[in-house]
Chains A and B, each alone.
Chain A
């Protein structure tokens, strides 16, 4: 069940990617130098991936270990550099109208179930649960700052899919996510994340791969995010169908009261 929690700031980078529906960076981002300084790299990545506001449409496809598919279409809005976001399920009918509101970089979130006209405020620990049966947890979808949620150590530099990347070991701060640590690869050139591995104390749990990077409104956008769940043998693909950074969403969208209202364009 979902309970309220105004926990300490957490959230993690995948959230910015998943909720906003893309990974974006200014084309004019300064090329990062290969410094052996984890904190500096986190700061660069935060800066490169910070999106003031956005609106997008995404398709989420869950592939189970048995090969079953579940596909969702989701409209997303974000503002305040990703600190607030709203996801509205459009399809399939089973979940159409359900919404997830995140505030404070994902520290606070609400789930609205349209059929029952009920809103639930999630407690901090609930963020570990799977979001809509996907391989993303609510925690994964949080949108906090890397620099607040992790300390980092540079492990080296290597190529990922032909891109020169820095490899970082990220350890959650006390207020950070529940993983033991992450290993993150970010492009040295544009500081954008290309891959993340998630670990508990003993196991490699999940891997996030970011691909199909395109330029949208002067920003680089990863149009595909795939989370592979090594424990379950399943994976979830998040594809951006439409994305714009042009217009700031109405702030009233990011309130609990707005969850039970129709959203313009519905």
Chain B
């Protein structure tokens, strides 16, 4: 079946929806140090329970050890990296049809496409590993590294290198092999130039970001440009990834509006084979005097067809590459301390097609170096909506740091 072959979306970007979450393994990460090599890290165990009427409950347990290393090689030259070891036990092979609308599942069957997805029982990988060379305001970074951009919370249209997990958007993301140079000025001025090497120069990815603070309006402002090889779309005839060049021009803006935090992040995308499209996120947030935090975000996605029934290729791009489906969503969230060491939150994602995703979450510090996180997701509303009804997932993750 279709496997992620994207160059730019290095991490398996199939975790962007409840469906994707149900199929994806849980991974995590942490820090360290090392000419003396500093070593740190964490062990994390995640139990995931998924339920649909067709599959009943399916369990997946992911045990993950992350080891972080860092070393100051010489003045201005540093190494940073981490290795992850993950063991998945349980329902590692999944049928994707229960996570699709019935009509879409039948279409998949009639197309003769494989309808299963398998996670690796064990996975060992270099998550991040890079050298950093500092010379005054210039920073050169070589290796597998984080390239995350954008102020939005649930989805970052201007980040063509990583994909967030919609249900756990602040979780770590796998690094991307790149050559990156940053030039900084002032407090927050930054020019970043990135190249992600591939077989040749033509197929490599390139990105530039110019960011500054605009004192006169009190906003952070950034312009981004990408020219990458994209494989996040599915060819409707072959149901295989479409490999194409993708160029994007984006903008980020964040600041304060009428006492609210406000941000805008979006881009326009020129596609080699598919239709060009716009995608952006608009968000606001506010903290009440008692510390309760409120958040709202709207995603506009101009890439896919705008209304149900969504095309099979859109669903597959959603499952495998984390691409949004439909027009987008409106998200509202609330977060509040429920005790000194426990934080509770709930996020709702509503789509114009009438489907809804509910994502409650509790984060607790259970010891000096131990955290417990529990979050779940369930969908209600239309069976053929962007969040098809009847999907339930629960995740419990305990992490011990050392």
Contact = CB atoms under 8 A, between A and B. Distances in A.
A257 B137 contact: yes
A108 B187 CA distance: 11
Interface in A64-103: 64-66, 68-71, 92-94, 96-97, 103
A232 B188 contact: no
A128 B287 contact: yes
A101 B261 CA distance: 19
Interface string A36-74: 000000000000000000000000001011101111000
A246 interface: no
B254 interface: yes
Contacts of A16: none
B401 interface: yes
A216 interface: no
Interface string A84-128: 000000001110110000010000100000111110010111111
Give the interface size bracket for B toward A: 35 or more
A124 B295 contact: no
A214 interface: no
Interface in B173-216: 173, 182, 184, 186-188, 190, 213, 215
Given A62-B340, A130-B337, A96 B78 contact: no
Contact of B260 (A117, A125, A178): A125
B259 interface: yes
Interface string B252-292: 00111001111100000000000000000000011111010
A62 B341 CA distance: 10
Mostly helix, strand, loop or mixed at chain B's interface?
strand
B368 A92 contact: yes
A60 to B, nearest CB: 12
B146 A126 contact: no
Interface residues of A, number: 49
A242 B289 CA distance: 34
Given A64-B340, A262-B78, A126 B287 contact: yes
Contacts of B74: none
Contacts of B170: 116
B168 interface: no
Given A1-B285, A1-B295, A4-B219, A255 B184 contact: yes
Contacts of B337: 130
Given A3-B263, A93-B369, A117-B145, A255 B285 contact: no
B365 interface: yes
Contact of B172 (A116, A123, A124, A137): A116
A70 B256 contact: no
Contacts of A133: 340-341, 365
A150 to B, nearest CB: 17
A68 B366 CA distance: 9
Contacts of A114: 31
B105 interface: no
B31 A232 contact: no
A70 to B, nearest CB: 6
A124 to B, nearest CB: 6
A146 B42 CA distance: 43
B146 A123 contact: no
B33 A266 contact: yes
Given A3-B262, A70-B341, A257-B190, 14 more contacts: A4-B219, A4-B263, A64-B341, A93-B30, A93-B401, A115-B30, A115-B31, A115-B172, A116-B173, A124-B256, A129-B287, A129-B291, A232-B339, A254-B187
18 contacts: A1-B153, A1-B293, A4-B151, A4-B219, A5-B256, A6-B215, A93-B42, A93-B369, A93-B401, A94-B371, A116-B170, A116-B173, A123-B255, A125-B287, A129-B291, A137-B291, A256-B190, A257-B182
Interface of B: 29-31, 33, 40, 42, 68, 70, 72, 78, 128, 132, 134, 137, 139, 145-146, 148, 151, 153, 170, 172-173, 182, 184, 186-188, 190, 213, 215, 218-220, 254-256, 259-263, 285-289, 291, 293, 295, 337, 339-341, 365, 368-369, 371, 401-402
Give 4 closest A-B pairs by Cβ, nearest first.
A3-B261, A123-B261, A257-B184, A6-B218
